[in-house]
Amino acid sequence: MIEKTLVLIKPDGVQRALSGEIIKRFENVGLKIVGMKMAWIDEELGAKHYADVRVRKGDKVFNAVLKLITMGPVIAMVLEGIDAVEIVRKMCGPTEPKSALPGTIRGDYAHVSYAYSDTVGEAVRNVVHASGSKEEAKTEIDLWFNEKEIHDYPSVHDLHILHKKVELRKK
């Protein structure tokens, strides 16, 4: 029930200064950031992250997403919460921004279609990546973070949402 998931604010989201707004949305629903870093990733990490895209969609799409994910810095986050994978996916909206409803991250901050992206020969600029399943989340978190970069700490949500007795530090 309590699970972790990976979210990437892609270079297009970072460049457009949307990071704070996106992070705020996740925190506002009670998801806890247990890992976060900014990195300008290289092709090796990008290729590992999108290895399934090459298998499912071929080299053309793979090369386009690899170019997008390596064009600038990425903010990588591990979020924790009840049904975190499903909640985050719902908040992000469909991969194609044109199909995303207003109120979702992609619906509010992107509008590009697959057809347009194909026309200009680029990957869909959809601002964020979110793990698609619990298994994918585990694999992606292990790819992006080591154990020392994932933190366990009490938050107000532990008390209010999870109904856990928590000891908040006093100064």
Question: Domain ranges in the chain?
Answer: 2-160
Q: Tell me, yes or no, if 157 is annotated catalytic.
A: no
pLDDT tens column, 71-112: 999 999 999 999 999 999 999 999 999 999 999 999 999 988
Would you state the pLDDT for residue 99?
A: 94
Q: Is the pTM higher than 0.85?
A: yes
Determine the Cα–Cα distance for residues 170 and 126; give it in Å rounded to an integer.
Answer: 41
Would you state the pLDDT for residue 162?
A: 66
CATH annotation of 2-160: 3.30.70.141
Catalytically annotated residue among 49, 111, 129, 163: 129
pLDDT tens column, 23-60: 999 999 999 999 999 999 999 999 999 998 888 888 98
User: Would you say 134 and 3 are in contact if contact means Cβ atoms under 8 Å apart?
Assistant: yes
Residue with tokens 């992006």: 144
Tokens of 40: 């300008």
Determine the Cα–Cα distance for residues 23 and 5; give it in Å rounded to an integer.
Answer: 14
CA distances from 61 to 53, 110, 128 (A): 7, 19, 17
Following DSSP, what letter does each residue of 62-104 receive, concatenated?
Answer: HHHHHHHHTSS-EEEEEEEEETHHHHHHHHH--SSGGGPPBTB
